[in-house]
Amino acid sequence: GQNIDQPTEMTATEGAIVQINCTYQTSGFNGLFWYQQHAGEAPTFLSYNVLDGLEEKGRFSSFLSRSKGYSYLLLKELQMKDSASYLCAVRDQDYKLSFGAGTTVTVRA
Amino acid sequence: IAGITQAPTSQILAAGRRMTLRCTQDMRHNAMYWYRQDLGLGLRLIHYSNTAGTTGKGEVPDGYSVSRANTDDFPLTLASAVPSQTSVYFCASSPLAGGYNEQFFGPGTRLTVL
């Protein structure tokens, strides 16, 4: 099974950078995903890492270290619309996803 | 293109009643999933299907059953609802179970069991 930890809440100012950390313990690793979920809506895909290193996608970047069981999601040039919950999810060898409880990011003006 | 649809949007159900949550996708995705989302616990996998005709148990399968008779539909049935099954239920699909294939989520069904 998977044990996935991420902070519950983070607050940052518009235009700033925020880093959301995710640590995991897994019996079999087959990729790590980050999803964004606005209140009352469905999760939407942000990024995928399966090899060590940084994946950059516009204002969002995601990093993975498999040896450390660690990932982070970096949100740059924060905008008010980035206020949402960010979910870290680990896929196992049977292709099932396990999600962390999510990190609620609040962007202040 | 509708993507993934779920029905109903919300439902209030008496304990002990049988309920089927519907999920349909028109993207011809092979893999489909059912999750429940509870405050503070995140999304938890109930059942999954990697391809039509096959199903598997997730993290919290007790009290739920699924079927996958065709590619498009993946209904979730609560045989005898209990208050602890009050939750938001999300259906998701993916082109394939593995590889660089993210899951696409439906809009969710908010279920209250009294």
pLDDT digits (tens, 9 = 90+) for A57-89: 999 999 999 999 999 999 999 999 999 999 999
Cβ contacts (< 8 Å) between B10 and chain A: which residues? Answer: none
What's the confidence (pLDDT) of residue A74? 98
Give the distance from residue B71's alpha carbon to the nearest chain A alpha carbon, in angstroms. 18
CB contact under 8 A, B98 and A45: no
CB contact at 8 A, A1 and A96:
no
pLDDT digits (tens, 9 = 90+) for A27-55: 889 999 999 999 999 999 999 999 999 99
Please state, for a pLDDT cut of 90, what percent of chain B lies above it: 89
Instruction: Respond yes or no on whether the N-terminal peptide bond of residue B61 is cis (omega within 30° of 0).
Output: no
What's the confidence (pLDDT) of residue B97? 78
Give the distance from residue A3's alpha carbon to the nearest chain B alpha carbon, in angstroms. 12
Helix (H) or strand (E) holding B32: strand B31-38
Cβ contacts (< 8 Å) between B59 and chain A: which residues? Answer: 1, 98
CB contact at 8 A, B30 and B94:
yes
Cα–Cα–Cα angle for B100, B109, A102, nearest 5°? 55
A103: closest CA among A49, A23, A1, A13?
A23
Please state, for a pLDDT cut of 90, what percent of chain A lies above it: 89
Q: Least CA distance to A98: which residue of chain B?
A: B44
pLDDT digits (tens, 9 = 90+) for B90-104: 999 999 877 788 999
Distance CA B40, CA A68 (A): 25
A85: closest CA among A44, A37, A48, A40?
A37
